[in-house]
């Protein structure tokens, strides 16, 4: 019998910055989750076997928000074994940009744009409030001055 290592699940999350047609910043996308743990979250999901994290990100963002995103950069990796109450999940978080109006689909009941100063950090599930606090304090974030 071949060795079957027990490892954490691998996921991706996207910080989607929405731009208007004239290039102005409108906010970031949060979803309302359909399944437990319910609450607001960054859009994201699990990487499938044979799929790169970059491909998984594009697929998950489209599935949950209907948006075609451009992954600008890998932001950070979050790996605290307690970050997801269901099981150990390691998430690769990407900074993204998209145009359009998000629509909740798949695992997302609702997808909505929030300005940075409107993000309800106390209502976010998993460690997504920590991720967004890290992002908002990151001086190299693309949309820092907007």
Q: How far apart are CA 137 and CA 4, in angstroms?
A: 40
Stated pTM of the model: 0.92
pLDDT per residue as tens, the chain (146 positions): 788 889 999 999 999 999 988 888 899 999 999 999 999 999 999 999 999 999 999 999 999 999 999 988 999 999 999 999 999 999 999 999 999 999 999 889 999 999 989 999 999 999 999 999 999 998 777 664 43
CA–CA separation, 71 and 2 (whole Å): 36
pLDDT in tens, 63-81: 999 999 998 899 999 999 9
Distance between CA atoms of residues 7 and 23, nearest Å? 42
> CA–CA separation, 40 vs 90, rounded Å?
19
pLDDT given at position 145: 41
CA–CA gap between residue 83 and residue 27 (Å, rounded): 25
Residue 110 to residue 32: CA distance in whole angstroms:
5
The residue ranges of DSSP E strands in the chain, in sequence order, are: 9-19, 25-33, 40-41, 44-46, 70-78, 89-99, 108-114
Which domains, ranges and CATH numbers included, belong to the chain? 9-120 (3.90.79.10)
What are the backbone angles phi and psi of residue 81, rounded to the nearest 5°? -60, -20
What pLDDT, in 10s, does the model give residues 89-108?
A: 999 999 999 999 999 998 89
């Amino acid at each position: 019998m071949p060795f079957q290592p027990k490892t954490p699940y691998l996921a991706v999350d996207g910080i989607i910055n929405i731009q208007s047609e004239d290039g102005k910043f409108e906010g970031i996308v949060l979803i309302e989750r359909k399944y437990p743990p319910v609450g607001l979250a960054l859009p994201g999901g699990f990487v499938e076997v044979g799929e790169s994290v970059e491909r998984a990100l594009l697929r998950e963002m489209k599935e949950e928000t209907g948006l075609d995103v451009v992954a600008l950069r890998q932001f950070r990796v979050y790996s605290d074994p307690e970050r997801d109450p269901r099981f150990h999940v390691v998430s690769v978080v990407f900074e993204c940009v998209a145009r359009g109006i998000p629509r909740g689909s798949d695992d997302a009941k609702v997808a909505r744009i929030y300005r940075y100063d409107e993000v309800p950090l106390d209502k976010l599930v998993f460690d997504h409030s920590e991720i967004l606090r890290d992002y908002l304090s990151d001086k190299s974030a693309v949309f820092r001055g907007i």
